[in-house]
Chain A
Amino acid sequence: KAGVTQTPRYLIKTRGQQVTLSCSPISGHRSVSWYQQTPGQGLQFLFEYFSETQRNKGNFPGRFSGRQFSNSRSEMNVSTLELGDSALYLCASSLTGNEQFFGPGTRLTVL
């Protein structure tokens, strides 16, 4: 069974731009969660989608948004990028809450 895939793997943007990241979960998994990882803050939960609905949301500003499609694929969007948004963005899919399967991440650099 194929794992979680994320595209692109690397991305460079400038301040003020917007970016869209994509995640394809493991087949059959309907829950998709997004995390941001930085050296200073560690791994932080952004939001979770289940059956096309946002079910939970972390403590991030409204510039961070997401959506999930009927095939469970998910996208995350960050608008008006700031330097502090440079991070590894991880997507995870799961059948149950705790055992989540993470993708390789998208490394976003904001210049």
Chain B
Amino acid sequence: LAKTTQPISMDSYEGQEVNITCSHNNIATNDYITWYQQFPSQGPRFIIQGYKTKVTNEVASLFIPADRKSSTLSLPRVSLSDTAVYYCLVGDDSGGGADGLTFGKGTHLIIQP
């Protein structure tokens, strides 16, 4: 599985747009990029997944450049409840789940009033 690098922590304020970038230089052709959110003492929650260009859902957008060596999770108009750890994962989307999901250290996002 491709290794990912993301900032250890970020701070922002309520109402702002937050962009968290993840580097994955060794991404393979059949790899997808997936982001999870985790609150303290809870399991991670799937946010969004993409392969290339841009993906948007009701909670976030995911921007992936043409070379796919990085990706940016965009959270529009954050609130205090968005304070959490955000994990970027890269792997294929086969049904096998080979080696499980490889979670790095994640980005601890802190939203202030």
Question: Main secondary structure on chain B at its contact with chain A?
Answer: loop
Once A35-B100, A42-B105 are accepted as A-B contacts, the answer to whether A97 and B94 lie under 8 Å apart by CB is: yes
Interface size class of B (residues with CB under 8 A): 20 to 34
| A67, CB-defined interface residue at 8 Å | no
Q: Mark B31-48, 1 if CB is under 8 A from A, else 0.
A: 010100000011111100
Q: A35-B101, A56-B96, A56-B100 are in contact. List 15 more A-B contacts (CB 8 A).
A: A33-B97, A42-B105, A42-B106, A45-B102, A46-B100, A48-B97, A48-B100, A50-B97, A55-B97, A56-B98, A88-B41, A96-B94, A100-B101, A101-B46, A102-B44
Interface residues of A (CB under 8 A from B): 4, 31, 33, 35, 42-48, 50, 55-56, 58, 88, 90-92, 94-105, 107
Interface residues of B (CB under 8 A from A): 32, 34, 41-46, 49, 87, 89, 91-106
